[in-house]
Amino acid sequence: MNKITDLLDNGGLKDVIFSAQYEKELFIEADKTRRAVYGTDVYLRGLIEFSNYCKNDCLYCGIRNSNKNLKRYRLSPEEIVSCCENGYKLGFRTFVLQSGEDSFFTDKIICGIVASIKEKFSDCAVTLSVGEKTKETYRSFFSAGADRYLLRHETANEEHYRKLHPQYMKLSERKQCLFDLKEIGFQVGAGFMVGSPYQTQENIIEDLIFLRKLNPDMIGIGPFINHADTPFASFPNGSLEVTLRLIAVLRLLFPFALIPATTALGTIAHNGRELGLKAGANVVMPNLSPTEIRKLYSLYDNKICTGDEAAECRRCIEHRIIKAGYNAAVSRGDSKLWTKSQNKNTTD
């Protein structure tokens, strides 16, 4: 197989992603690369889905504002910190705080939550995933102690973006948010769904080209999964095979990136996350949210792990990581791209 970066430049990557022809070689190369850069470590992130209120109306998303069949919830700041306390005892050293775009959580409240987590657990990283904000707001989150930010770009193609989102949402603004976050100093995560409605093969190539421009620390991809209470209820789910090949391609294009084996991947196949790890992923994000509200953060149908206690999820995931041949790492697990840039800044 030619070098993957050359294939992206000369248009040859489609065969690698969309046919099974080079699959075996691809997975072997990807696993070799992840072992060379990150060894066998798989980083655990404790995910807290703290609110399913959302002002947005993304057409694919089960917690979109127009879904009136969903019971809404939000955790209090104290409950969020208490999830982290539980997570800390279970060995998590990164907490990911994710929600819909919920205006109840003002900048001040979010900064307060971040600051109290960092004060209690100074050896932990805090990742936020709370949507599009102004650069000023992102700066305040960073000053409060947030280390990382996840904001999938969803698709890098304008026309495709307009088919997935209401017209008031703008791809240019989402992309700008990612560049702002990077400039501020966050470890930044972008990404997209595989097999989202109307997505073409060219769109995926455009996603890879956009990612190369952004050069993120983290890249989250997972299959699109339909949700009965959205306009995309009857669209087919994304493909397991294409998602796995794309994970491998991402590992080869971005050797230093942190790439999760996502819950969506584990939802479309019982061993999806293990296969994701073998294809080059090196992060998993077990859920730390209280069990009672798990089902309500329903981005898509049949989401896994909605009935388990945090401790059970932790045990289950560690078992799966070890069985797949890797090591469940108890550390912050910073991106090597970011660590390198930090070292460079201190030696300059």
Q: Which residues bind ligand FES (CB under 6 A)?
A: 54, 56-58, 61, 63-64, 100-101
* Least Å from the CB of residue 244 to ligand SAM: 16
Taking CB under 6 A as the criterion, which residues in 168-207 touch ligand SAM? 193
Q: Which CB sits closer to ligand FES, 112 or 131? A: 131
Q: Which CB sits closer to ligand FES, 60 or 186? A: 60
Look at residues 306, 249, 323 and name the one whose alpha carbon lies nearest to residue 281: 249
Q: Name which of ligand FES, ligand SAM, none residue 300 binds, using a CB cut-off of 5 to 8 Å depending on partner kind.
A: ligand SAM
Residue 303: other Cβ atoms inside 10 A: 19
Q: Which CB sits closer to ligand FES, 58 or 265? A: 58
Report yes or no: 60 and 307 within 8 Å, Cβ to Cβ.
Answer: no
Residue 279: other Cβ atoms inside 10 A: 25
Q: Which residues of 116-149 are buried (b: 16+ CB within 10 A; e: fewer)?
A: bbbeebeebbbbbbbbbbeeebbbbbbebbbbbb
Q: Which CB sits closer to ligand SAM, 80 or 264? A: 264
Q: In this chain, which stretch among 160-168, 224-232, 239-247, 309-317 interacts with ligand SAM, using CB under 6 A? A: 224-232
Quick check: 293 binds ligand SAM (CB under 6 A)? no
With 0-12 CB in 10 A as exposed, 13-18 as middle and 19+ as buried, what is 307?
exposed
Report yes or no: 130 and 98 within 8 Å, Cβ to Cβ.
Answer: yes
* Least Å from the CB of residue 329 to ligand SAM: 24
Taking CB under 6 A as the criterion, which residues in 76-105 touch ligand SAM? 98, 100-101
User: What's 72-98 look like in SS3?
Assistant: CCECCHHHHHHHHHHHHHCCCCEEEEE
Q: Name which of ligand SAM, ligand FES, none residue 225 binds, using a CB cut-off of 5 to 8 Å depending on partner kind.
A: ligand SAM
Q: Which CB sits closer to ligand SAM, 193 or 253? A: 193
Residue type at position 191: G
Residue 85: other Cβ atoms inside 10 A: 13
* Least Å from the CB of residue 148 to ligand SAM: 13
What is the spatial distance between Cα 279 and Cα 265, in angstroms, rounded to a whole number?
A: 12
What is the spatial distance between Cα 273 and Cα 260, in angstroms, rounded to a whole number?
A: 9
Q: Which of 17, 156, 225, 253 binds ligand SAM (CB under 6 A)?
A: 225
Residue 328: other Cβ atoms inside 10 A: 18
Q: Name which of ligand FES, ligand SAM, none residue 64 binds, using a CB cut-off of 5 to 8 Å depending on partner kind.
A: ligand FES
Q: Which of 26, 61, 248, 279 binds ligand SAM (CB under 6 A)?
A: 61
Site residues for ligand SAM per CB under 6 A: 60-61, 98, 100-101, 129-131, 151-152, 154, 193, 222, 224-225, 227, 264, 299-300
